[in-house]
């Protein structure tokens, strides 16, 4: 289930976040076949993952996402670098700027958004019915345009679930924030991966679940 925009980013981003494709230079063609609602991604990169033999896990949330079982083992091996720091006031400023940006969410309310930010401003904004689709679109855009993620912040309107943490860590984004709540497994995975996870970000209030070392109070 998707709003239907940017299908090429959605498809590529999903494959990137499942660690199926890793090298943007080896993407040969991304073809959207409207007649059968399919996106064909052709790459010269060989993958060690046999999708037909991988166990699929249904995820919670809108539009029912799916991840492959092998990604959980891989995520446990990732440790994000703790060198990036950000002032708490900068996070509040980003939150205010995002919430003043025109969006489908402000028009309808029944949609989720994911925003890639620098420490100074929001950069790229994608929306969809499910938060997992919105973040996959962002991942696809970043992958195809070779955008560095290691000094960025990801803001999402949705809950901070295990799936959102997994995708953020696979994208090598060190800071994840949301105005919404979080799940126990999401917090556990964030702590293992050194991800800075901020929930219930509203006004001047927030809850830090992991990676507090990256935050500067003053």
Question: Count of domains in the chain?
Answer: 1
The CA angle 187-189-195, to the nearest 5 degrees, is 80
> Between 8 and 18, where is the model more confident?
8
Q: What is the CATH number of the domain that holds 46?
A: 3.40.140.10
Is residue 63 over pLDDT 60?
no
Mean pLDDT for 182-203 is: 95
pLDDT at 68: 57
DSSP state of 69: T
Is residue 64 over pLDDT 60?
no
Distance CA 49, CA 215 (A): 37
pLDDT at 47: 79
- pLDDT tens digit string along 82-105? 999 999 999 999 999 998 888 877
pLDDT at 102: 81
Q: Which domain holds residue 107?
A: 1-218
Would you say 82 and 58 are in contact if contact means Cβ atoms under 8 Å apart?
no
Find the range with the poorest average confidence among 18-22, 38-42, 156-160, 174-178: 18-22
Would you say 179 and 172 are in contact if contact means Cβ atoms under 8 Å apart?
no
Look at residues 57, 183, 161 and name the one whose alpha carbon lies nearest to residue 112. Answer: 161
């Amino acid at each position: 289930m998707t709003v239907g925009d940017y299908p090429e980013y959605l498809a590529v981003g999903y494959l990137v976040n499942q660690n199926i494709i890793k090298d943007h230079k080896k993407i040969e063609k991304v073809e959207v076949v409207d007649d059968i609602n399919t996106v064909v991604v052709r790459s010269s990169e060989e993958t060690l993952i046999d999708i037909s033999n991988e166990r699929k896990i249904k995820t919670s949330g809108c539009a029912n996402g799916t991840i492959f079982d092998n990604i959980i083992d891989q995520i446990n091996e990732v440790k994000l670098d703790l060198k990036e720091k950000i002032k708490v006031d900068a996070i509040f400023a980003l939150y205010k700027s995002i919430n003043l940006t025109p969006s489908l969410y402000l028009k309808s309310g029944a949609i989720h958004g994911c925003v890639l930010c620098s420490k100074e401003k929001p950069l790229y904004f994608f929306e969809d019915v499910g938060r997992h689709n919105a973040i996959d679109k962002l991942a696809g855009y970043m992958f195809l345009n070779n955008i560095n993620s290691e000094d960025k912040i990801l803001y999402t309107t949705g809950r901070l679930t295990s799936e959102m943490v997994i995708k953020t860590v696979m994208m090598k984004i060190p800071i994840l924030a949301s105005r919404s709540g979080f799940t126990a497994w999401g917090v556990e995975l964030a702590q293992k991966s050194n991800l800075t996870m901020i929930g219930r970000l509203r006004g001047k209030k927030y809850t830090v679940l992991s990676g507090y070392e990256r935050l500067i109070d003053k």
